[in-house]
Amino acid sequence: MTTTYDVGSVLWIIHTDRPGLMAYRVVEEITKKTLEGEQIQYLVQAAMPKSKIVKLESIKGQIFEESEEAKMRLIENATKAIDGMVVKIQKNVDKFFNNKKEEQESVQETIPKIQSISGELKPGYQWVTMEDGTKAQIKIPEIMK
């Protein structure tokens, strides 16, 4: 199933060929009908001064129709990357500093303790107290619940 976009709508794209988020506006929809079927092509323009109009299909990345969806995916990606870094460095600590704790225990210790704190909490989020006492709302991946 092909996704359709309205001319004038804004698409939020997380690029895969280079890091970052960019907003593009759909400026043209081209429908081509042939014996093989119908093909729809979109032309978009980046939200930047003097940006050129390009084919949407030439942009490599994940497309979102809402900025909040793109934001949540960026947060999920960052969380995964940070978790991976912590696990990797913890392995180095265990290896080079002769810390003989089991890997499973060391990974669990790197994850902040979740506490119930009064205050306005967004749906799907939980309060977390960091090691320095800072309290933050974060979205806990389903796999960690």
Same domain, 108 and 123: yes
Same domain, 76 and 29: no
Residue-level length of the chain: 145
Structural domain boundaries, residue 37? 10-65
pLDDT, one tens digit per residue, over 75-109 is 998 999 999 999 999 888 888 886 555 555 555 55
DSSP 54-116: EEGGGS-EEEESSHHHHHHHHHHHHHHHHHHHHHHHHHHHHHHS-----HHHHHHHHSPPB--
* 137 confidence band (pLDDT: 50, 70, 90): confident
Which residue in the block uniquely carries the two structure tokens 């974060």?
Answer: 138
In a domain, 145, yes or no: no
pLDDT, one tens digit per residue, over 9-40 is 999 999 988 888 999 999 999 999 999 899 99
Looking at the structure of the chain, the number of domains it has is 2
Alpha-carbon span 101 to 103, nearest angstrom = 6
DSSP at 29: E
Same domain, 134 and 83: yes
Give the pLDDT score at 142. 59
